[in-house]
Structure 1
Amino acid sequence: MTRNHGLHALALALGLGLASAAIPAQTVGYNVRTGDVWVDTRLGEIDDYGRHHREPFLDEMSGYYGAPRPLLVDLLDDRGWAPADVYYACAIAHALGIPCVDVVHEYDRHPGQGWGAVAKRLGIKPGSAAFHALKRGQVDTYGRWGQTIVVDRPVHVDWSRSNGGRGPGSRDNAGSQGKGHGNAGAGNHGNAGKNNGNKGRGNQKKGNSGNGGGKGHGKP
């Protein structure tokens, strides 16, 4: 009886071991935990944006948050940071007026604690003026990506179905191009109009049906 019980226990243990081996390892994603559900949700969407629209995401981080592009590429490609982590590190740095790499180093000192803990150590607490500035920064970022949102109002943006927004500076470029077309159009039409007018006055001056014809009929 004891022997059978031991064999049963061994078989159960082996079965559990094989079942565990068959389960693939799970990849742990970014650890948000900012202390604010609205911000956490936005970071989840920003993470999707960064994965679907890499270049506009890098442009946003370098153009508006002042992060060096080599640092961004290193974090995303070499260190395996999620776009949301990269965004929030640079957003915190921008709010505090410090280099993004300083926030990265602070995160590295206490990995796995979440961004809420990192922000608190740097002096940004949930509900503070600096924290609200981070929220407004998310609104501005969404706006540059072509989506209008309001702080603390529920919204869902599916960036996988979006073209990625206009991207930094493209609105100004589009405006410049439009002005260029307008000037070119005005010049061409104006010159064409003047030329047509000159041609018309020239024909009348020659008098194909007037002076020329009159002289012919008037001779004896």
Structure 2
Amino acid sequence: MAWPVSAQDADAYVPASGDAAIDRHLADINEYASRYPAAFADEMGRYYAVPRAYVEAMQQQPDWTAGDIFMACALAQIVGQPCRAVVREWSRDHEGGWKAVAGRLQAEPGSAQYRRLRSALEATYRRWDRPAPVAEK
């Protein structure tokens, strides 16, 4: 289950995507968006076809993190659904984290859709000129 995150408890955020690299990216996106909320909203609008006003409204929701917003909207684009549909699916039931939500959308970890999600994350990080987060040793 994902929880709201602040700079002090960034390690507590667990998106449970079923992919450790994706989880690290989503936690790092929380950090990035806390410092650059407008740039995050721009990214989502420009590259993930989500109205900026929708992203900004989601950023104000206490139960949503930037990582979750990214996951919902990127996953939606990959499975050919509007972001709002995936937001509704997550809001309806996210007991098993993003892995369970993705599975219900026919985009299980290890699938071609998840590989596309990893590629989308890599492209976002290149645009941000931000190094990818690495696993702690």
TM-score grouping bracket, smaller chain normalisation: 0.7 to 0.9
Structure 1 unaligned spans of 5+? 1-27, 157-220
TM-score (norm 1): 0.53
Instruction: Indicate which of 128, 138, 157 corresponds to 2:121.
Output: 138
Which protein, 1 or 2, shows the higher relative CO under an 8 Å CA cutoff with sep ≥ 6?
Answer: 2
Structure 2 unaligned spans of 5+? 5-12
Instruction: Indicate which of 29, 33, 38 corresponds to 1:50.
Output: 33
For the aligned residue pairs, the C-alpha RMSD in angstroms reads 1.7
Instruction: Indicate which of 51, 59, 64 corresponds to 1:81.
Output: 64
Q: CA deviation at 1:33?
A: 0.3
Between Structure 1 and Structure 2, how many residues are aligned? 125
CA distance in 1, matches of 2:59, 2:127: 21
2:8 is aligned to none
- Residue pairs, 1:1-220, within 5 angstroms: 28-29=3-4, 30-147=13-130, 149=132, 155=134
Match of 1:144, as an amino acid? R
Cα shift readout 1:139-175 (whole Å, capped 9, x = no counterpart)? 00000001355xxxx737xxxxxxxxxxxxxxxxxxx
TM-score (norm 2): 0.83
After the TM superposition, list the runs of 4 or more consecutive aligned residues in structure 1 that deviate by more than 4 angstroms: none
Contact conserved, 1:50 with 1:57, CA < 8 A, in 2? yes
Match of 1:40, as an amino acid? D
Contact conserved, 2:17 with 2:98, CA < 8 A, in 1? yes
